[in-house]
Amino acid sequence: MKLLRWTISIALFLASAYLFQHNLQRILHGVDTAGVFAPILFLILHCFTSVLCLPTVLLVLAGGILFGPVAGCMLNLLGATLGAACGFCISRHLLPGVFRPKENTRMHAWVARVEHQGWKSVALLRFAPVPYNLVNYALGVTRIKFSHFLMATLICLVPNKIVVTYCGYAGIQLFDLIQS
């Protein structure tokens, strides 16, 4: 029964990821035409991509295109932080002990260091070339305080979200300039 649940979960994950990646343009058009609900849909989309470990750079660029540099940056930052929190909580509450390393292993030593350093570890991992979404899940199985995870994530994502959101905004401005 447990194997069946894992198989179904993985199949749903893969199907969702495939459908999302192949319909991104339609999805973003839906967000763009949602009027006052567009920011809410955009935040939900951010959480969805984060939980499914999908690349979010196109979504962050789209935030700059759809909402402009300031609102887009705020929505991207909030969406990425909410998505990180979702991944962390899923890992912490649905996978307790599943990926917990055994005693006397290198992984156990790494987890112990991460737990001891708390928010500093989160900050370092946010700037390291490690897939962002996997970090959320990996840190969820540690004993790092959720508040430390959330604050370090929020603060350390600011530079990335500012730059990438502005690139999306500037890119569409340049495109419009070339078209006119």
Query: Model's pTM, two decimal places?
Result: 0.81
Place of tokens 């959720």: 146
Q: What pLDDT shows up at residue 86?
A: 94
Domain ranges within the chain, ordered by starting residue: 2-179
The predicted pLDDT at position 64 comes to: 94
Going by C-beta distance under 8 Å and a sequence separation of 6 or more, which residues neighbour residue 87?
50, 51, 53, 133, 136, 137, 140
Percent of the chain with pLDDT over 70: 91
**Where does the pLDDT of residue 167 fall: very low under 50, low under 70, confident under 90, or very high at 90 and above?**
very high
- The answer to whether residue 35 scores a pLDDT higher than 60 is yes
pLDDT range class, residue 1, cuts 50, 70, 90? low
Q: What is the per-residue pLDDT for 129?
A: 85
pLDDT tens figures, 123-166: 888 888 888 888 898 888 888 999 999 999 999 999 999 999 99
Please give the pLDDT value at position 36: 93
Q: What is the pLDDT of residue 31?
A: 82
Average pLDDT of the residues of the chain: 85
pLDDT attached to residue 76: 96
Q: Is residue 101 over pLDDT 60?
A: no
Q: Confidence band (pLDDT; 50, 70, 90) for 81?
A: very high
**Is-contact 50 86, C-beta < 8 A?**
yes
Give the pLDDT of residue 143: 85
Q: What is the DSSP string of 21-54?
A: HHTHHHHHHHHHTSGGGHHHHHHHHHHHHHHTT-
CB atoms within 10 A of CB 73: 23
For residue 2, the model assigns a pLDDT of 67
- pLDDT (tens digit per residue) in 9-32: 777 777 777 777 677 778 778 888
